[in-house]
Structure 1
Amino acid sequence: MTFRWLLRAKRWAQNPPSAGMVKFVLAIIAVCIALYLYDLAYGWPEWLTVDQRMRAPR
């Protein structure tokens, strides 16, 4: 850990984020985890798959 990270940690400890910001970040993390678990359980939906186009010959 460098000195710069220690200074950041000190500033964060003196001025912690608001409760609303913490809830916002946790909500984003929860949505990401939910999408990941959905993908594991059901797989990637076919309608979200991009069609592969043929490349033109050179």
Structure 2
Amino acid sequence: MNPLWLMRMAKWAHHPPSLRQVKIGAAVLAAVLAIWGLEAAGLWPDWATLERQPRVPRL
């Protein structure tokens, strides 16, 4: 495990995030899971899906 993560966890233990930050994080996570669920169920619209363009080789 990266030591920077240990430092971040120690910081969060000593100074936990505010309730507002937790609510924002939960809302973002819920939105991501909702989008993923719609896409997995086949309900995501085609106009919102990106299509990869073929890569042009550089000369």
In the superposition, the TM-score normalised over structure 1's length comes to 0.66
CA RMSD of aligned residues (A): 2.5
Structure 1: where are the runs of 5+ without partners? none
Shift of 1:44: 4.2
Structure 2: where are the runs of 5+ without partners? none
Shift of 1:12: 1.3
Q: Within 2, Cα distance between the matches of 1:21 and 1:5?
A: 19
* Higher-RCO chain (CA-CA 8 Å, sequence separation at least 6): 2
Cα distance, 1:44–1:12 mapped onto 2, change above 3 Å: same
- Letter in structure 1 aligned against 2:38: Y
Cα distance, 1:46–1:23 mapped onto 2, change above 3 Å: same
Q: Within 2, Cα distance between the matches of 1:15 and 1:2?
A: 20
The equivalent residue for 1:42 is 42
The equivalent residue for 1:15 is 15
The equivalent residue for 1:24 is 24
Q: Percent identity?
A: 38
When the two structures are aligned, how many residues end up with a matched partner? 53
